[in-house]
Structure 1
């Protein structure tokens, strides 16, 4: 699929997993997060999202709402939000109060992206959720409850329970997904949708088609608005970008092997680390990743836009060296502006 839509026609944003790198700790991650957020703001990125993950030694954004507030306090104009809050891990009232507080402190700058996965393994999910019935199947009901705290006209029950702050605030709610469930729900509710192409590339086009075909205009949106997450690692040369990308590949390999480690330094040769089967599996899972020089990245970003017809791209750059990570986002901004 192609169209006249060019990279300059869409918005670009940042997804930060607050990576903990080998030899560093969460304090270093938060320092780098603030540095990257300020860098992204200067470069003109639209929004800066943080993701909820738990019990992962390479991700420091478990207390996502707290970190969103920290980033918002150290920036002035970029939108800050969750990519996402895993709603089944929380009481909807608590999320309404947290994001009501964030929106009150930082008006018109907060986004609430919601997912239904646990953002962790099943044992940790049990520790988070306590109740085994909270497994994501009741996500539509949780979402309805949450939206009712912001807009009492949507309430269907517990009419005396109020989110203060939160009630009456217009906080954009996005649905996030890596399959068709949230795509269909977002379409039926007329909400913006963000798809996790960065780790589920094969489901990207079917999910976007489902979202657009099921879309019903709402007070929020008159027409579909689709964002896609994409791994982009940009450097001065293809060779350097490929070398930097070995940190991302090692991270996914460690997940497959269940040997979670901090984000590892790049290596010269992945062939010495993975098996042929692991290589094939990871190359499929990371199939939409864009890795290369400015010329390569520009070409592949445009091809990805041609295929997805996305309204916005959210860039994830899992790079071990912080300065190289800053430079990657800089290269992308030079390409798309």
Structure 2
């Protein structure tokens, strides 16, 4: 099986964090039954509609509720923690669930600071061998939002400075291998897979390639730069003890139902949810289709979310499976990481079930 799952533990309108977390546990168990390879948990803060704020805690709960599926982070925001604390957390989980834990790492704070200073270069949409590559979204404006700057100060101790990402990754690897001057217990010798997640061809892709680590590229967050990201990773790749050749996972948003009309109805809340993120308010509680329809959409709203809505894979099992195969072919991905959010948990479980069945068919 070359499909895996990324879960944000979404809180829906009318729901609660507790219900969202119980849904995550249930979905993980069902995903294992359906045959998915990995079950990754995101890290989001200050988002009214996301319960996955402490991935290590949630990973431990999911691993305890399952038996075979790999469980990991997509991704730990290393800019908010020290390498030692991350290795100890994941080493502790691995001690109880050896050989099943993935440590996915992202740059977080460093990336946000770079985006705030970046000059945006508009590009037209293009289709590459059947895959839509939309115009790039201007993340610089979002990165400059005053809420985000304030929130960043709450995630670190006063005066703390985030070290260079490459140095942090080297320290994580040193703790795991036991070559660091200090000992991480638990953590040293832990059988965890270290992954780097990235949205561009920048430092994350370079570090993953140069250290010979597997790389996860975000088509669902930043679809315009996915090809640059995987290309930069492969160009930088050097064989390591972990990998002899590059290994790539690419993420995608998808909603599947028995017929296309139902799938589109289930996906109605997605655009409004993305809008809440891109306006700097943080992910809202996932709306119903009726709540999304009631929003007074402006042209600016539609433009704000267009790249994400246009690259969400919505339809019947065979339709979505075919589009995912195009994504896999064009990016050369070894695996795909699928994230699905619907207002009703049963629809989300069913979406993953239908997709797994279609993916296994020749």
TM (norm. structure 2) is 0.85
Counterpart-to-counterpart distance in 2, 1:221 and 1:259: 40
**How many aligned positions are there?**
322
Is contact 1:198–1:286 with CA below 8 Å preserved after alignment? no
What's the secondary structure of 2:74's corresponding residue? strand
What's the secondary structure of 2:289's corresponding residue? coil
* Superposed CA RMSD: 1.8
* Candidates 37, 46, 49, aligned match of 1:46: 37
* Candidates 132, 143, 155, aligned match of 1:128: 155
Deviations 1:45-64 (A, max 9, x none): 00100011111111101111
Deviations 1:10-51 (A, max 9, x none): 611010000011111111011100110000000000010001
What's the secondary structure of 2:290's corresponding residue? coil
Deviations 1:222-268 (A, max 9, x none): 00000011001111121211121122211111123344431111238
Q: Is 1:319 the equivalent of 2:319?
A: no
In terms of mean alpha carbon deviation, does 108-117 or 163-172 score higher?
Answer: 163-172
* Candidates 225, 240, 249, aligned match of 1:203: 225
Q: Is 1:174 the equivalent of 2:181?
A: no
Query: Who is 1:223 aligned against?
Result: 245
Deviations 1:112-165 (A, max 9, x none): 000011499232221112355635x61111111111111123x3xxx1x21101
In terms of mean alpha carbon deviation, does 192-201 or 240-249 score higher?
Answer: 240-249
What's the secondary structure of 2:232's corresponding residue? helix
Is contact 1:199–1:286 with CA below 8 Å preserved after alignment? no
What's the secondary structure of 1:121's corresponding residue? helix
5+ long unaligned stretches in structure 2: 113-146
What's the secondary structure of 1:267's corresponding residue? helix
TM-aligned CA deviation for residue 213 of structure 1:
1.3
TM-aligned CA deviation for residue 314 of structure 1:
0.6
Counterpart-to-counterpart distance in 2, 1:293 and 1:271: 26
